[in-house]
Amino acid sequence: MNASASPRARSASRPIPLKIRFRPSVKRIRDYEAPEEGREGKLRLDFNENTTGCSPAVLQALQTVTAEQLAMYPEYENSVRRLAAYFGVWPSEMLLTNGVDDALRLLMEVFIGPGDAVLIPEPTFSMYRFFSQVAGARIISVRYDEAMKFPLVGTLRALRRSPNILFLANPNNPTGTLLDEDSLTRILDSAPRTLVLVDEAYFEFSGLTVLPWIRQTPNLIVSRTFSKAAGLAALRIGALFARSDVISAMRRAFTPYPVNSLALTAAEAAVNDEKFLRAYAQEVLESRSQLVRGLEQLGVHVFPSAANFVLADFGPGGTRLVKRLAQRGILVRDRALAFGRDGFVRITAGTVPQTQSLLQAIKEEW
């Protein structure tokens, strides 16, 4: 060994005890099941993405970005004004975020302290629980029943405890359940001291929104994403909508440049091509109908869905089917862990030909 090597270099082969301290809440977090690498070129029916790609107008817009623009910090005013007009809100009622995940983190930082309570109807989007655990929140959980019906009575009962936040994915992921306006009204009226986040990630497929309610409902926040119908998952852009005073409070705690310029350019191009968005959504709805019929003809139980996916119960052997499909380059999402037993599989509805290919593969492998 080189005699002049530093003590740090000489001790590199020996484990160094870790003395820094982590927050106790972090140690209890279970890793998020992110998509595996190497999905490009496969039939991606596992994470509810757009299965054909974004509008060609988005790619054209990105090609106009200059070297000078990339060298500058993002400028938001014009983009925010145009996007707000698309969503039918004032710019002061919208906050762009680096994907909805970033929006959830911001909600925790603004509204939750250690020990504060959050209410989560489960199973649902796992990042609600993830960020709640990171923040050290106390989680109150109510469960969907075996028919995947929303636990309305249990939710209303839990709201009497005035949790700080209630998370509602509408439609819900992974069940596909859609709450109607009457149920949403009952929840909001029962929770004057609870912030209610209505996550409308799949609005383009359900057609139901409470976004126009934000001005009359001070405890309501709505989130949207460009990762699903618009096909911009790689660019990570989402938005929060609420009354101006609520958005103003959140903006004070937010970073000055949360969304990059390429994402802004792509988002504007995406919403300007409404014909593409409508056509893709319509294709998915037809595909979803064919997927449900095909699975039911095979004897598979499928739960009603208002999103761009369905939850199916294949019974024993569901996990094995997921693996066999993956070997054929068809990716679907095993949800056995979320429900506590084998069989539950979430399947994204892509195009009609993609659904036909999937159904044929299931017939051969199941």
- Exposed e or buried b per residue across 146-171, where buried means at least 16 C-beta atoms within 10 angstroms of its C-beta: eebebbeebbbebbeeebbbbbbbbb
pLDDT tens-digit readout, 132-159 = 999 999 999 999 999 999 999 999 999 9
Strand 238-241 relative to strand 138-143: parallel, antiparallel, unpaired? unpaired
Q: How far apart are CA 273 and CA 12, in angstroms?
A: 56
Mean pLDDT over 45-52 rounds to: 97
Nearest alpha carbon to residue 93 among 247, 225, 293: 247
Residue recorded with tokens 């990042």: 127
Residues 175-190 have a mean pLDDT of 98
Structural domains in the chain, CATH included, are 37-51+275-365 (3.90.1150.10), 56-272 (3.40.640.10)
State the CB neighbour count (10 A cutoff) for residue 275.
Answer: 10
348 is written with which tokens? 């994204």
Return the sign of the alpha-carbon dihedral for residues 314, 320, 322, 326.
negative
> So what's the pLDDT on residue 71?
97
* Interaxial angle between packed helices 244-252 and 99-111, expressed in degrees from 0 to 180 and rounded to the nearest 10: 90
- Say if residue 60 is exposed, middle or buried (CB neighbours under 10 Å; 0-12, 13-18, 19+): exposed
Express each pLDDT in 216-226 by its tens digit. Answer: 999 999 999 99
| Structure token digits, residue 170 | 């509408």
The per-residue pLDDT for range 240-297, each reduced to its tens digit, is: 999 999 999 999 999 999 999 999 999 999 999 999 999 999 999 999 999 999 999 9
Question: Each residue of 317-352: pLDDT tens digit?
Answer: 999 999 999 999 999 999 999 999 999 999 999 999
pTM reported for the whole predicted model: 0.91
Q: How many CA atoms lie within 13 A of 363 on its CB side?
A: 11
